[in-house]
Amino acid sequence: MNTSAPALFPMFVKLLGRKCVVVGGGTVAESKIESLLQAGANITVVSPELTDKLEQLERRGNFTWVRSKFYPSQLDGAFLVIAATSDNATNEAVFRQADGRGILCNAVDQPPRCHFYFPAVVRRGDLQIAISTNGLSPSLAQRLRKQFEREFGPEYEDWLRWLGVVRESLMQRNLSFATRKRLLAYIASREAFEHWLSTKAGESVLQEAA
């Protein structure tokens, strides 16, 4: 009998404008709040106090601060919630309330109280490489992140932007499906990337592929 846990379902979620609640205002909450800000979430932070860094973000209007302990009603209308306090009882209460309401919850560093995990992420503009170990070894995920950061340097941001422009151009041309598919595969190849790096002349790469 296979007793292993089901595999996680990997996906990238659009949080723009969605209400996300972070319970906790300490250093553990900082990186989570920053990630939510990058995604354009509508963030509510519930905590009696904030770190200096979070106070600065709050003064800039980056999130709404509810200066209190946690109450279940604070989850009304939330899409997801993060329990980021140092108090196990509070984290448990947040998770139970979220679970009962069908709200996605992550209790930081507490896998049994998580519906989802924050992966280790390599970001190069619109390119995101997310790494998860299903909570078994965050240290391995971080090691792999550093490895991929070396392999996929900052140049990938510009290259991906160029790929998007070229793809849009190809989609507007009167090309057969097979030809378009071949060209799109070529411009995303390692060979095309190295050519782009050496010449930064994208049109010449397309000419060679045609």
pLDDT at 135: 76
Provide CB contacts within 8 A for 193, sequence distance 6+.
159
Q: Is this prediction's pTM over 0.85?
A: no
Averaged pLDDT, 44-68: 97
CATH node for 19-118: 3.40.50.720
Averaged pLDDT, 160-189: 93
What tens digit of pLDDT does each residue of 4-37 get? 667 889 899 999 999 999 999 999 999 999 999 9
Q: Which of 144, 124, 115, 150 is nearest to 132 (CA)?
A: 144
Phi, psi of 74 (to 5 degrees): -70, -10
Question: Whose structure tokens read 């992140």?
Answer: 145
The domain ranges of the chain are: 19-118, 119-153, 155-209
Provide CB contacts within 8 A for 31, sequence distance 6+.
none
CATH node for 119-153: 3.30.160
Alpha-carbon torsion (48, 51, 54, 60), positive or negative: positive
Lowest mean pLDDT, pick from 121-130, 172-181, 199-208? 199-208
